[in-house]
Amino acid sequence: MVTFSISSQRAQFQDRLARQRYEDQLKQQQALNEDNLRKQEDSVLKQEAMRKATIEHEMQLRHKNELLRVEAESKARARVERENADIIREQIRLKAAEHRQTVLETIRTAGAVFGEGFRAFVSDWDKVTATVAGLTLLAVGVYSARNATAVAGRYIEARLGKPSLVRETSRITVAEAIKHPIKMSKRLTSKPQDALEGVVLSPNLEERVRDIAIATRNTRQNKGLYRNILMYGPPGTGKTLFAKKLAVHSGMDYAIMTGGDVAPMGREGVTAMHKVFDWANTSRRGLLLFVDEADAFLRKRSTEKISEELRATLNAFLYRTGEQSNKFMMVLASNQPEQFDWAINDRIDEIVNFALPGPDERERLVRLYFDRYVLEPATGGRQRMKLAQFDYGKKCSDIAKRAEGMSGREISKLGVAWQAAAYSSEDGVLTEAMIDARVDEAMRQHLQKMDWLHGHTKEAGAKSTISPSAGPADSSKIGFTLPLGEPPQAQDVLTPALEMGNKPEAHVIQEELKLEVQAPPSSDGAELPVEEGTVLAKGEGVKAETVVTPQGEVAEGVSQTDAAPSSEGGTGKEGKTKAPPKDGTPV
């Protein structure tokens, strides 16, 4: 048993020795392989280095040989040129002499040929006459073609194009006819419409503008001279809408231009203005030229705020409107007619005041836009809009009472707001509460705008709102505020306008000062009482000529403060109102 154990241990020991010997052999073999691989890599690197060195050496030798060759060639060439210098100079001299002789012979030959030809041409009068006639006809043809092209271009531009100042027109142009042929055909076959269709005005104003529409239509039919109209009043009272309706009713074309587009044109304004009137004179049906916001460029030339370019454009406008025309009718619209130049006032034949709508007109407007923006979408078409059940007529009357002071445009926007409220609701139903909410919001915004307006007036200290309860010269007639900062300018334009368009009560400003009263402040700083109807002259107590109304207010641009230096540094004495020329001559 002991013998077996010893032999087993000996066998295990021999096995371990064999394994260890085998592992040592593997390690030795691996080390040998790595050594061989390293030797091979070193050999490759040495060969590569030798190859690069060989190439560099070859390149250096080649470069050196090239330099030697170039140097040898240069020396040989220099030696040859130095040895053959006499021969080269002789060759150059011979070539120059030959070239000079050739040029001289060419000149002689050409001169002889041209001379013989000219002598033969001059001696033959038939050829001379034919040549002169041909050149003359050629020159005439060239200049005629150029001028004819320019005339044709101006003719096409005047009759088929549209001036750049015209924003909108009912006159058919080639571009519009190509873009909208169906619309153009409908326009050609359309019949004259009522001038007041869709226009809501007060009874007196409606009667007056209807008379204007009838007179304009009869003027066109009888080929008479059109009358120029000034429409003034607050924004959104229907001036532009009536001008379009007037043109359609009279069978005329209309063109709308904005006064604000004239000033940015600068030096091109005069040319553009002449193009507008040339284009207007080519209308066969007659053209109603509507100038919106006309006070933007038709303001007084005496003020320093107008540029030279705008002054020249205004002069061009005055030149083209100096006489009445049977081709076009001019309609001016303005919110501040007191800004007009006196010469513009002289060209106005009819003055129409578009005041804010009264209670009856507001109710008609509310019903009109309620039908257009609420009832018609709810009852016709796809009926994407629904309307709750309530008394529509009573609601419209209530809204008209609440919308006091709103213009027609604001009421139309109120109708659009109702429609938008219905479309934005989940079920698409317009309820009475939603209508009231939109009315309240619109009134709040309207009051905010009025606060802004009055706040600006107080800060500037240059405007005075005329009371609605005053006489014919109050806000119900005027519809705008007068700036106190420029009383002479406002009075220059407003006085003749009121004398033509209103009753005799508008004699506030006299051509000559009847009574001059000094109204200095009292010693304690309080204002002295002024009797009703007293005309105040400019002095230490006032800035402009004023009149105290029966309501105790000071009308026509009054400033009761002490006289302060004007913007030019004066005391305001040079701002005295000037009466218009008695002989009727335009200023």
pLDDT of residue 172: 73
Range 72-84 average pLDDT: 90
> What is the number of other CB atoms lying within 10 angstroms of the CB of residue 313?
26
Residues pairing with 168 in the sheet: 256
Contact by Cβ (8 Å): 233, 137? no
Q: Is 269 exposed, middle or buried (0-12, 13-18, 19+ CB in 10 A)?
A: buried
Radius of gyration of the chain measured on its C-alpha atoms? 49
Annotate 566-582 with three-state secondary structure.
CCCCCCCHHHCCCCCCC
- Tell me, what amino acid is at 239? K
Map residue 288 onto helix, strand or coil: strand
| Whether 227 contacts 215, CB under 8 Å | yes
- pLDDT band at residue 472 using 50, 70 and 90 as cut-offs: very low
Cβ-based neighbour number of residue 145 at 10 Å: 10
The confidence band for 495, taking pLDDT boundaries of 50, 70 and 90, is very low
H/E segment holding residue 548: strand 546-548
Which architecture, in CATH terms, is 359-460?
Orthogonal Bundle (1.10)
Percent of the chain residues past pLDDT 90, beyond the cut: 32
Give the model's pLDDT for residue 184: 62
CA 169/CA 287 separation, integer angstroms: 10
Whole-angstrom Cα distance, residue 204 to residue 172?
Answer: 35
User: Hunting for tokens 């309240």 — which residue is that?
Assistant: 440
Indicate the pLDDT class of residue 7, thresholds 50, 70 and 90. confident
Look up residue 372 and give its DSSP letter.
I
Using 50, 70 and 90 to split pLDDT, how confident is the model at 160?
low
Question: Over pLDDT 70: what percentage of the chain?
Answer: 71
Of 191, 196, 233, the C-alpha closest to 212 is 196
* Mean predicted confidence (pLDDT) in 18-33: 92
* pLDDT for residue 283: 85
- Please report the pLDDT score of residue 533 as a whole number: 38
Please give the C-alpha separations between residue 528 and each of 542, 544, 572, in angstroms, as whole numbers: 12, 17, 21
Contact call for residues 240 and 333 (beta carbons, < 8 A): yes
DSSP 290-308: EEETGGGTSB-TTSTTS-H
pTM for the predicted model, two decimal places = 0.52
Residue 179 burial (CB count, 10 A): 10
Give the pairing type, strands 535-536 and 546-548.
Answer: antiparallel
Q: Say what the pLDDT of residue 5 is.
A: 81
> How far apart are alpha carbons 460 and 456 in whole angstroms?
6
411 vs 361, 402, 408, 418, CA distance in Å? 11, 11, 5, 11
To the nearest 10°, report the CA torsion of 258, 260, 265, 268. Answer: 50
In single-letter form, the type of residue at position 380 comes to G
Paired strand residues for 331: 229, 290
pLDDT at 553 over 90: no
Residue 327 has a CB neighbour count (10 Å cut-off) of 16
- Number of residues assigned to the chain: 587
Say whether pLDDT at 270 is over 50: yes
The three-class DSSP label of residue 167 is: strand
User: Is pLDDT larger for residue 526 or for residue 212?
Assistant: 212
Q: How far apart are CA 489 and CA 508, in angstroms?
A: 15
For 47-62, how does the pLDDT look when each residue is reduced to its tens digit (9 = 90+)?
A: 999 999 999 999 999 9
Comparing CA positions, the residue from 534, 574, 537, 542 lying closest to residue 558 is 542
Give the per-residue pLDDT at 493. 37
Q: Is the domain defined by 166-353 classed in CATH 3.40.50.261?
A: no
- The pLDDT, as a whole number, for residue 109 is 92
**Single-letter amino acid, residue 42:** D
Q: Residue 540 pLDDT more than 50?
A: no
Q: How far apart are CA 541 and CA 556, in angstroms?
A: 16
Average pLDDT, the chain: 76
What is the structure's pLDDT at 460?
54
Which run of H or of E encompasses 281? helix 268-281
The answer to whether the beta carbons of residues 505 and 471 sit under 8 Å apart is yes
DSSP state of 554: E
Residue where the block lists tokens 């020159």: 139
Measured distance CA(433)–CA(420) in Å, rounded: 14
Q: Give the span between the Cα atoms of 477 and 557, in whole angstroms.
A: 16
Spatial separation of the C-alpha atoms in residues 309 and 417, rounded to whole Å: 43
Output the pLDDT for position 177. 64
Q: Mention every residue, 6+ apart, whose C-beta is less than 8 A from residue 451.
A: none
- pLDDT band with cut points at 50, 70 and 90 for residue 377: confident
Binning pLDDT at 50, 70 and 90, where does residue 512 land?
very low
Read off the pLDDT of each residue in 5-32 and give the average, rounded to a whole number: 90
CA 206 to chain centre: 34
406 against 3, higher pLDDT:
406
> Minimum mean pLDDT among 69-73, 136-140, 413-417, 468-472: which range?
468-472
The answer on pLDDT for 516 being more than 90 is no
The pLDDT confidence band at residue 383, using thresholds 50, 70 and 90, is low
Poorest-pLDDT segment among 153-162, 285-294, 559-568: 559-568
For 367, the token pair is 């019903």
